[in-house]
């Protein structure tokens, strides 16, 4: 019995010493502020599309994600980009170049200009 207990203790110690190989979630916490044209903050629920681009203007998005329900309170909102579904997780290839820009589109409006530069 003593031998089995010693063996279990050794196994637990070895297993706890093994490096944990968990994949880092490919998500970005993004917070923003939305106002109308007069500068009044929004208090509503919106649909927002986020896109990452290689350039500050024009071009095709490298990655996109639609958040159908974004709560905006006194103009402030917060989303986790890459969390809408397994298919919209942000792939490592998106950041193969250090210069990337975030585009934001509220509902069916045009994309907000200028795009926000993402930095590492």
Structural domains of the chain ordered from first start: 23-118 (2.60.40)
Give the DSSP per-residue string, 30-84: EEEE-B-TTSPBP-EEEEEEEEEESSSSSS--SEEEEEEEEEEBTTEEEEEET-S
Higher pLDDT, 120 or 7: 120
* Average pLDDT rounded to a whole number, residues 87-102: 88
Predicted pLDDT of residue 20: 52
Whether the pLDDT of residue 50 is over 80: the answer is: yes
pLDDT band at residue 1 using 50, 70 and 90 as cut-offs: low
Query: Smallest Cα–Cα separation from 96: which of 52, 49, 33, 60?
Result: 52
Averaged pLDDT score across all residues of the chain: 84
* Predicted confidence (pLDDT) at residue 10 exceeds the cutoff of 50: no
pLDDT band at 51 (very low <50, low <70, confident <90, very high): very high
**Whether residue 3 has pLDDT greater than 70:** no
Instruction: Give the pLDDT confidence score for residue 92 in this predicted structure.
Output: 87
Residue whose token pair is 């159908």: 68
């Amino acid at each position: 019995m003593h031998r089995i207990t010693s063996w279990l203790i050794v196994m637990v110690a070895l297993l706890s010493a093994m490096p944990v190989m968990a994949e880092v979630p490919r998500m970005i916490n993004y917070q923003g502020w939305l106002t109308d044209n007069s500068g009044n903050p929004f208090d509503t629920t919106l649909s927002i599309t986020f896109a990452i681009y290689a350039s500050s203007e024009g071009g095709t998005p490298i990655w996109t994600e639609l958040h159908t329900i974004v709560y905006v309170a006194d103009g402030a909102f917060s989303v986790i980009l890459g969390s809408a579904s397994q298919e919209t997780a942000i792939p490592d290839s998106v950041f193969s170049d250090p210069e990337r820009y975030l585009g934001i589109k509220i509902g069916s409006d045009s994309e907000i200009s200028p795009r926000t530069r993402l930095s590492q």
